[in-house]
Chains A and B, each alone.
Chain A
């Protein structure tokens, strides 16, 4: 079945460092791909999405490109802030379904 694998955390960075969180997927069909962010004590919020190959999703300085050839959707940000500290989830829309398949989450900690 469809699945999502993302890098283990925690990822600890200094403020203004470059961020990459890796995400790869296995899917039948051509799923949409998503990144969600969860701040402490809150629900998951959609950060960005891409609906087809080579699409780039972007929001709040974060971006991710849908790479069909490598089945990847890595999250990047050029300069992280302390306020970006959160858990990041990669997800895909399951084939012919309303369900989302989530990765296990990657905790990001940004130090001042």
Chain B
């Protein structure tokens, strides 16, 4: 069973702080990694993807990937109340089933004004 685990949360940070969301995965051959944001009652929205080791920055968001440690994280700088949502980590596995994504259960982030 190829699994994706996220820090259980909920995570609460003050406005303007850095929020750090973490994800580990079991399939060492995983190829692509995605972060989705899901507001309550809405569908997931893709915010970042990464497939090479290191950091990838997009505005206030930075995704970090360490394939040796099978670890991917999302940093949100200058957190805003509008960032309050559930963040889902998703992994594209290796092998024959490499067209599907496996999702973690999500981490609920609350940014307090």
Asked if A pairs with B, the answer is: no
Task: List A residues at the B interface (Cβ < 8 Å).
Answer: none
